[in-house]
Structure 1
Amino acid sequence: MPALVLALLALLVLAPLAQAADPLVVGHRGASGYRPEHTLGSYELAARMGADYIEPDLVSTKDGVLVTRHENDITGTTNVADHPEFASRKTTKVIDGTSITGWFTEDFTLAELKTLRAKERIPNIRQRNTIYNGRFHVPTFRQVLALRAKLSRELGRDIGVYPETKHPSYFRSVGLPLETPLLAELKRARLNRAGAKVFVQSFETRNLQALNRRLQVPIVQLLDAKTLTIPDGSGQTYGQLATPDGLKAVAKYADGVGPSKDYIVPRDAQGGSLAPTSFVRDAHAAGLVVHPYTFRAENSFLPLELRFGADPAAYGNIFKELKQFFALGVDGVFTDNPDIGVAARG
């Protein structure tokens, strides 16, 4: 074999795999840096800011309707505590091995949830968002899909949707599986088809393996902290999934991975960035796209060297962080600030 050919082959093996031509910008819980998360106002703003996809997290009501909340405990993201008629429903449950006291979506019918209003999750960091407290209700997944269709027509581009099943094993254990209504809503919106702008994601593995046989859209395996055990009875840790062999196993049922940022750029004990890992290269070698989470503008979420001043709520250099990850070859990003994500992508 000619020496030039050998040299070119070596470069292909050793060089970083190229990023997607246009990495995706996913509005994490909508544009949650500017509006209370998982509200129609947050999703709409994300789309108008240029997000390619909006991300609704899905949990179930008592009557089996999918609504969008980051977890089934609605204590911190709604005004349920201000409703005396629901005071008796405050309870303690064990969710994925953790004891939680609060109010839970599966104890409310959809009609009851619709009497509540959303509020800002982290008011000490996002005080400006609190002016929107009480303005938005808890939307259903169907309402989010309808908004997606409306905005796609208005904006002249197809807005994608990136739903996540939250605590699927838990919901299955209480007789409210998430997968069946998810498939039904996607079918109703004509989105369970090849080429539809949809990704389906989960922190669990077994539900994604089952969905792989029923979905015609890409699947993304989310990765939590490396030492945590996946809460689906598989016995695996997320760190095991993130090895080269683990990623090859993921590729048998998924099309991508959604790691926390530290899988790609770890941090030291002081919060400063360390050298990038081989994660992006390893995932690409397994045939998986890489969509890390979560890019947030405030100092409290940024590595030490990208913070501006000491105020945890002040904006730091998220632009530089995004640029770094794009340069490392990621195929998309989850961000609370989709306008900055679009600008950094260029």
Structure 2
Amino acid sequence: MQPTRLIAHRGASGWAPEHTETAVRLAARLGADAVEPDLVATRDGVLVVRHDSELGSTTDIADRPELADRRRTQTIDGEEVAGWFVEDCTWAEVATLRARERLPRLRPLGALREGREGVLRFSDLLAIADETGLDVVAELKHASHHAALGLPLDALLADAVAGTHWAGDGRLTVESFEEAVLHEVRDRGVEARLVYLMGEGGTAADLVGRDGASAPTYAEQRGDASLAELARRVDAISVDKAVLFDRSDGALRASDLVERARAVGLGTIAWTLRPENAFLEPEHRLGEHPAAWGDWTTEWRMLASLGLEAVFADHPDLWRRLEA
């Protein structure tokens, strides 16, 4: 069995604000194999590295009077969201913003670094990955939403890697909660590993757009027949770690998803490993404070025993400590 690969979730985001240059370079120093950037697009078609289309939670855009009129409410993937959106700004405007810690109450160390760094473009992150030796696992966020705006993420990604080694040397993985955009990336000549992200609940936005209320949920897509179909189209699934636990007999134990996926030729990736109580299973929390670290070692060892293809972690050093 191949060793589990360690993917730094938006960089070493447990120690520095996510998606910053510091977080990416620190991830390499702490032993990550790869870094995962989330990709969204500006109004003028520049791929930028941000958690979501809404910029208010991860930048200081709310403090910029010159951009105050950009605040609005819109529906993205069926959910109403209020704030400042990347697609309403040019890259020149986004480039003036400073990064903020997305989880300041849980990540006080990251909050201390607020305002020190700007926003990275995808091209910037690829350059850092080249310097540090990290592979890249790029998540295309809200693909249907972007396509409807005339900002197809598959085309923008293909343009970003065209003529570079990233287009075909095996170091690039592309993932999305929407399967269709993965194949569009491949159709554009990008030889990346394709990974289908699956939430614990909900339904893929592209399937809702195609099939409406009859679209299969992520949970239904984890059934045996659906996994076998997925195995003919993608290389791996990446799932919320919650679906890798089972309490059907009253006690917490591992589910059989990884085994069932492996049986049809699919790799399985788990997200996101974090030590704080807020993100651990109830059985592994210590005390009541959400920012306190719980019994993360027990939970992570349970996951490590499953034979996962890879894990996403905010603190890469903790996973390496567990392996030692």
Q: Residues 207-256 of structure 1, C-alpha deviation per residue, up to 9 Å, x if partnerless?
A: 12333333312100000123x12111242211121111111111122100
1:244 aligns with 2:224: yes
CA distance in structure 2 between the partners assigned to 1:63 and 1:189 by the alignment = 22
The whole-number CA distance in structure 2 between the counterparts of 1:43 and 1:247 is: 33
Which residue is 1:261 aligned to? 241
**CA–CA separation in structure 1 for the residues paired with 2:286 and 2:200:** 27
Deviations 1:76-115 (A, max 9, x none): 1100010001100101111001111100001111110011
Contact 2:286 2:294 in 1 (8 A): yes
What SS does the aligned partner of 2:162 have? helix
Give the match for residue 184 of structure 2. 210
| Counterpart in the other structure of 2:199 | 224
Write the distance in 1 (CA, Å) between the matches of 2:163 and 2:9.
24
Q: State the AA in 1 paired with 2:23.
A: S
Amino acid at match of 2:78: G
Quick check: 1:330 aligned with 2:308? yes
1:111 maps to amino acid: A
CA distance in 2, matches of 1:273, 1:196: 40
**Residue 62 (structure 1) aligned to one of 39, 43, 48:** 43
Asked if the contact 1:291–1:333 (Cα under 8 Å) also holds between the matched residues in 2, the reply is: yes
Report the more deviating stretch, 98-107 or 273-282.
273-282
CA distance in 2, matches of 1:54, 1:116: 22
Q: 1:167 and 2:148 equivalent?
A: no
Secondary structure of 2:311's counterpart equals: strand
Give the structure 2 partner of residue 3 of structure 1.
none
RMSD of aligned residue pairs (Cα, Å): 1.5
Q: Mapping of 1:1-346 within 5 angstroms? A: 20-152=1-133, 159-193=134-168, 195-213=169-187, 214-226=189-201, 228-232=202-206, 233-234=209-210, 235-266=215-246, 274-346=252-324
2:318 maps to amino acid: I
- Residue segments in structure 2 that go unaligned for 5+ positions in a row: none
Answer yes or no: is the 8 Å Cα contact 1:273–1:304 preserved in 2: no
Range that drifts further, 119-128 or 72-81: 119-128
In the TM superposition, residue 200 of structure 1 has moved relative to its aligned partner by 0.6
Query: Which AA in structure 2 matches 1:247?
Result: L
Counterparts of 2:136 and 2:163, CA distance in 1:
14
Q: Which letter does structure 1 place at the counterpart of 2:96?
A: T
- CA distance, structure 1, for counterparts of residue 178 and residue 251 of structure 2: 28
- Alpha-carbon distance between aligned partners in 1 of 2:283 and 2:143, rounded to the nearest angstrom: 37
Q: How many residues are aligned here?
A: 316
Distance 1:171 1:308 in 2: 41
| Cα distance, 1:267 vs structure 2 | 6.0
* Deviation by residue 1:59-87 (Cα, 9 ceiling, x = unmatched): 00111000011110011110001000110
Q: Distance in 2 between matches of 1:208 and 1:252?
A: 13
Taking only the aligned residue pairs, the percentage that are identical comes to 38
Counterparts of 1:76 and 1:108 in 2: how far apart (Å)? 16
- SS of the residue 1:284 aligns to: helix
Q: Write the distance in 2 (CA, Å) between the matches of 1:273 and 1:28.
A: 29
Instruction: Evaluate the alpha carbon distance shift between residue 70 and residue 129 of structure 1 in structure 2; reply closer, same or farther with a 3 A threshold.
Output: same
Distance 1:254 1:131 in 2: 40
CA 1:61/1:274 → structure 2, altered by over 3 Å: closer, same or farther?
same
The structure number with the bigger radius of gyration is 1
CA deviations 1:26-83 (Å, max 9, x no partner) are 0001111111111111111111100000000000011100001111001111000100
Comparing 301-310 with 55-64, greater Cα deviation is found at: 301-310
Once the two structures are TM-superposed, the CA of residue 273 in structure 1 deviates from its matched residue by 6.5
Cα deviation 1:4-24 (Å, max 9, x = unaligned)? xxxxxxxxxxxxxxxx43100
How much does 1:266 deviate?
A: 3.9
More strand by share: 2
Aligned amino acid, residue 104 of structure 1: F
Aligned residues of 1:208 and 1:253 also touching (Cα < 8 A): no
Structure 2 partner of 1:12: none
TM-score (norm 1): 0.88
